[in-house]
């Protein structure tokens, strides 16, 4: 693939340019995965749950609106501070209108699990990106449990779900490593009599399991030769209990990589979730030679957290083990940006799932890198990035309605020879509304050009 320089000169486009070192201490917003689950499970619990540190990104606000439409009282008391009065398992009401989940794949798929276990009919839709994403992966097991669906061709939104009452408990072996599918089956299994088992060939993020326990469900996890068995006892009494949401390691990834790449930088990102099943990027960056420390490790709200202290580092290319993909699935775009500046070649395999994220992230990442003058090779489920000390940049990158592509290439612009602009920054608000302000606070040159 070749490089055709296209200086970012279109007015109003968010543009990142190299400048002074990044310095300071920040906190990133609450974890997106945990925030969705907090609102959903609190709505199913009996009593009042207070949530601190909730992500107020658009994706999570869609989930809040959906849970309200289903009859729970969901209130914002202050920044990040929310309160949910749950209706109890089985107590959700049929929504009067279509539930618009915006850009949120996690919100839609987890909610489909909950709806599948309730005696109601609901309709879901979303934005153009979400309407392209496959929902078959959740509809298949949920239909086995007794729910009925009618969706557009290819199992895409808008769709109708008619819940089963009660759903059947099943044992389901995940055909793809997906925490969303696992969680949807478990959430439907809450309403099923008996035990619902999900077998994961490769462990995926376990926020649902941790939070189900927090609300009083019985859930056993056992590693066997054929994978991890997650066994939920159905029809528990879910009881309200306050929650604290840690900072999102997937959001922290952007200031962390920026600090590694901009010479002379030193940044602390406080209270970031360090759940092993989310931290594949940080393991990889350390293997690449990153000066990155987890300081003051502690626990908050049933999840491990730490302060991440990162200093600019000269990185070297590595081969990322494919079995690490579930623990860093959302971080490949920004890892690829880091790899572009590394000495040598970085090989990433097992990336098939990247093609069904908010965009085809494999293609979008490769295209963006090429536009910035980076040499890449890309295949059906792999990406090879050839690093170089000076990355030209000087491109306008297409973000394809994908917040992580947008943020990854702004990070690229902070370290490239020429500024990098993105075509659309609106989607950043789905997961990291304060991104631009926080990065500017660290000294980043982000401006509209």
Q: Which residues are tagged catalytic?
A: 330
Give CA–CA dist 183/177, Å, rounded. Answer: 12
CA atoms within 13 A on the CB side of 83: 6
What is the end-to-end Cα distance of the chain in Å, rounded? 27
Q: Nearest approach, Cβ of 432 to ligand S3P (angstroms)?
A: 13
**Site map (CB under 6 A) of ligand S3P, residues 408-437, x = contact:** ------------------------------
* Omega prior to 158 cis, within 30 of 0: yes
With CB under 6 A as the contact rule, the residue among 13, 118, 205, 214 that binds ligand S3P is 205
User: Residue 59, interface with ligand S3P (CB under 6 A)?
Assistant: no
**Which positions from 16 to 35 touch ligand S3P by CB under 6 A, shown as an x/- string?**
-----------------x--
Residue-by-residue DSSP string for 237-302: --B---EEPPBPHHHHHHHHHHHHHSTT-EEEEEEEE--GGG-HHHHHHHHTT-EEEEEEEEEETT
Of the candidates 271, 199, 337, 373, the residue with the CA atom closest to the CA atom of residue 53: 271
Q: How far is the CB of 306 from ligand S3P (least distance, A)?
A: 20
178 or 399, CB closer to ligand S3P?
178
Q: Are 280 and 306 in contact (CB under 8 A)?
A: no
Strand partners, 46: 87, 239
Residue closer to ligand S3P, measured from CB, 183 or 365: 183
What does the alpha-carbon distance between residue 382 and residue 349 come to, in Å, rounded to a whole number? 4
CB of 51 to ligand S3P, least distance (A): 16
Check residue 275 for interaction with ligand S3P (CB under 6 A).
no
Contact between 48 and 419 under an 8 Å Cβ cutoff? The reply is no
330 binds ligand S3P (CB under 6 A): yes
Comparing CB distances to ligand S3P, the nearer of 38 and 179 is: 179
Residues 339-398 that bind ligand S3P (CB under 6 A): 353
CB atoms within 10 A of CB 360: 17
Binding residue for ligand S3P, selected from 108, 183, 268, 284, defined by CB under 6 A:
183
What's 385-420 look like in SS3? Answer: EECCCCCCEEEEECCCCCHHHHHHHHHHHHHCCEEE
Within 162-181, the residues that bind ligand S3P by CB under 6 A are 178-180
Of 100, 137, 86, 109, the closest CA to residue 33 belongs to 109
Selected from 15, 49, 103, 106, the binder of ligand S3P by CB under 6 A is 106
- Interior angle at CA 432, CA 294 and CA 262, nearest 5: 55
Closer to ligand S3P by Cβ: residue 22 or 124: 124
**Counting contacts by CB under 6 A, is residue 248 touching ligand S3P?**
no
Residue whose CB is less far from ligand S3P, 183 or 191: 183
Compute the least distance from the CB of residue 324 to ligand S3P, in Å.
Answer: 13
| Least gap, CB of 178 to ligand S3P (angstroms) | 3
Size of the site for ligand S3P (CB under 6 A): 10
Please provide residue 92's backbone torsions phi and psi, each rounded to the nearest 5 degrees.
-70, 145
Question: Which residue's CB is nearer to ligand S3P, number 200 or number 307?
Answer: 200
Residue 209, SS3 per DSSP: helix
Among 329, 336, 414, 416, binds ligand S3P (CB under 6 A): 329
Interaxial angle between packed helices 249-261 and 280-287, expressed in degrees from 0 to 180 and rounded to the nearest 10: 20
Q: How far is the CB of 33 from ligand S3P (least distance, A)?
A: 3
Residue closer to ligand S3P, measured from CB, 181 or 261: 181
Interface with ligand S3P, residue 324, by CB under 6 A: no
Chain residues in the site for ligand S3P (CB under 6 A)? 33, 106, 178-180, 183, 205, 329-330, 353
């Amino acid at each position: 693939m070749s490089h055709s320089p296209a200086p970012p000169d279109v007015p109003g486009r968010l543009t990142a340019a190299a400048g002074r070192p990044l310095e300071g201490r920040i906190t990133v917003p609450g974890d997106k995965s945990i925030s969705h689950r907090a609102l959903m499970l609190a709505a199913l619990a009996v009593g009042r749950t207070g949530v601190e540190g909730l992500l107020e990104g658009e994706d999570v606000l869609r989930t809040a609106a959906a849970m309200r439409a289903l009859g729970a009282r969901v209130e914002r008391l202050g920044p990040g501070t929310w309160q949910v009065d749950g209706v109890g398992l089985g107590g959700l009401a049929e929504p009067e209108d279509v539930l618009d989940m915006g850009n949120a794949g996690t919100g839609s798929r987890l909610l489909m699990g909950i709806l599948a276990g309730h005696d109601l009919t609901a309709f879901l839709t979303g934005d153009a990106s979400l309407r392209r994403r496959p929902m078959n992966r959740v509809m298949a097991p949920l239909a086995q449990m007794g729910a009925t669906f009618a969706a557009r061709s290819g199992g895409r939104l808008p769709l109708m779900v008619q819940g089963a009452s009660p759903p059947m408990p099943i044992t389901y072996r995940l055909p793809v490593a997906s925490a969303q599918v696992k969680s949807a089956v478990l959430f439907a299994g809450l309403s099923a009599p008996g035990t619902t088992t999900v077998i994961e060939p490769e462990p995926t993020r376990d926020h649902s399991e941790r939070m189900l326990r927090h609300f009083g469900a019985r859930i056993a996890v056992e590693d066997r030769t054929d994978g991890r068995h997650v066994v939920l006892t159905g029809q528990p009494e879910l009881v309200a209990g306050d929650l604290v949401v840690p900072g999102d390691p997937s959001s922290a990834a952007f200031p962390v990589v920026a600090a590694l790449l901009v010479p002379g930088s030193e940044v602390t990102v406080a209270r970031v979730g360090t759940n092993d099943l989310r931290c594949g990027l940080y393991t990889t960056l350390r293997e690449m030679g990153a000066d990155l420390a987890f300081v003051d490790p502690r626990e908050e709200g049933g999840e491990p957290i730490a302060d991440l202290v990162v200093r600019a580092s000269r990185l070297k290319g590595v081969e990322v083990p494919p079995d690490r993909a579930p623990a860093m699935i959302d971080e490949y775009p920004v890892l690829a940006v880091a790899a572009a500046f590394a000495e040598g070649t970085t090989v990433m395999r097992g990336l098939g799932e990247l093609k069904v994220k908010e965009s085809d992230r494999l293609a979008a990442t490769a295209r963006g890198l090429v536009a910035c003058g980076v040499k890449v090779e890309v295949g059906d489920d792999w990406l090879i990035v050839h690093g170089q000390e000076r990355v030209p940049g000087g491109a306008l990158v297409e973000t394809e309605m994908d917040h992580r592509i947008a943020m990854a290439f702004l990070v690229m612009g902070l370290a490239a020879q020429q500024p990098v602009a993105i075509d659309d920054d609106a989607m950043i608000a789905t997961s990291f509304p304060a991104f631009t302000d926080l990065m500017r606070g660290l000294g980043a040159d982000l401006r509209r050009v």
